[in-house]
């Protein structure tokens, strides 16, 4: 199915969020189509993996929207490059708001799909955003869990010192999400699978994009550390849930987070699908693993939207 892509924006927390709206051909004439909000990973942007899934789902007949997180990419927000989980969740809610204003969308058939940390944010939003009728999560990651595993108290002490410095006039500290190149990674002796593949995806022509500059405002790390994407999932996450993870495990922990989410979710209809032989980042853009994931999502959203 031919997909028409439009650059749009919508308000979230008094900021304008930049987005791409994917519409199946003749969507405006057909009207009342199901729609899906697609949420990108931490450090990513609308033009990378979440955008791939958004376009493929639109080819299946869904209206989809994918956006740059507030404070990042082409979206508004100061300080730049901040990762605020609360804002990320509000972005998802606001994307739902936007979809409900479109004549071609059935506001009673809206779903959410997130990749990596975006999966965690989609899940977290769905717990209290009851307009989201079904949730998909690919290579799902609980971003706060990941940060808490690496001496969070020491990191919070560093954040505190940096906030004091910036309050006194120091320049904002902007760090990297991952090493800037394979050369930089190798020089640091970093060989872990997920980290190697993260550099390969984000810092080489494979997936590199100007709207994903590998920059993180360091003082926003405190809010990441305190965030549990799955908190209250055992009570509030009741919508149908489809989790997809790769069978090849890496240190970023999406395989573990996928199982954790599955066990915690209150959803009566839930499924955990493991793509054998695929790693976390294979599910970002590699044709065969992505095709398998899309086939699972196709059946899931058809049944639940």
3-state secondary structure of 223: helix
For 245-292, write each residue's pLDDT tens digit.
999 999 999 999 999 999 999 999 999 999 999 999 999 999 999 999
Mean pLDDT score across all residues of the chain: 97
Q: Return the HEC string of the chain.
A: CCEEEEEEEEEECCEEEEEEEEEECCHHHHCCEEEEEEECCCCCCCCCHHHHHHHHHHHCCCEEEEECCCCCCCCCCCCCCCCCHHHHHHHHHHHHHHHHCCCCEEEEEEEEEEECHHHHHHHHHHHHCCCEEEEEEECCCCHHHHHHCCCHHHHHHHHHHHHHHHHCCCCCCEEECCCCCHHHHHHCCCCCHHHHHHHHHHCCCCCCCCCCCCEEEHHHHHHHHCCCCCCCHHHHCCCCEEEEEECCCCCCCHHHHHHHHHHHCCCCCEEEEEECCCCCCHHHHCHHHHHHHHHHHHHHHHHHC
3-state secondary structure of 20: strand
Q: What is the pLDDT of residue 168?
A: 98
For 193-251, write each residue's pLDDT tens digit.
999 999 999 999 999 999 999 999 999 999 999 999 999 999 999 999 999 999 999 99
Cβ-contact 198, 178 below 8 angstroms: yes
Overall average pLDDT of the 183-201 stretch: 97
The pTM score is: 0.97
Overall average pLDDT of the 22-42 stretch: 89
């Amino acid at each position: 199915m031919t997909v028409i892509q439009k650059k749009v924006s919508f308000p979230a927390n008094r900021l304008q969020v930049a987005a791409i709206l994917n519409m199946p051909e003749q969507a405006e004439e057909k009207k009342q189509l199901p729609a899906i909000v697609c949420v990108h990973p931490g450090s990513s942007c609308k033009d990378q993996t979440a955008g791939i899934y958004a376009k493929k789902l639109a080819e299946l007949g869904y209206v989809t929207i994918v956006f740059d997180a507030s404070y990042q990419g082409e979206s508004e927000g100061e300080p730049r490059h901040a990762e605020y989980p609360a804002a990320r969740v509000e972005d998802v809610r606001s994307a739902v708001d936007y979809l409900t204003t479109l004549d071609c969308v059935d506001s009673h058939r809206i779903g959410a799909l997130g990749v990596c940390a975006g999966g965690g944010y989609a899940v977290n939003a769905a717990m209290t955003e009851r307009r989201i009728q079904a949730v998909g999560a690919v290579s799902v990651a609980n971003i706060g869990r990941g940060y808490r595993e690496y001496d969070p108290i020491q990191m919070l002490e560093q954040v505190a010192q940096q906030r004091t410095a910036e309050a006194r006039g120091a320049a904002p500290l902007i760090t990297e999400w991952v090493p800037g190149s394979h050369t930089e990674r190798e020089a640091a002796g970093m060989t872990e699978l997920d980290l190697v593949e993260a550099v390969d995806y984000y810092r080489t022509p494979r997936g590199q994009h100007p709207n994903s500059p590998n920059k993180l405002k360091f003082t926003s790390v405190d809010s990441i550390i305190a965030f549990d994407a799955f908190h209250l999932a055992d009570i509030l996450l009741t919508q149908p849930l489809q989790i997809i993870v790769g069978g090849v495990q890496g240190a970023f922990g999406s395989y573990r987070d996928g199982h954790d989410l599955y066990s915690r979710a209150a959803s009566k209809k839930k499924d955990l699908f493991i793509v054998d032989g695929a790693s976390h980042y294979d599910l970002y853009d590699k044709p065969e693993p992505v095709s398998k994931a899309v086939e699972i999502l196709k059946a899931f959203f058809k049944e639940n939207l």
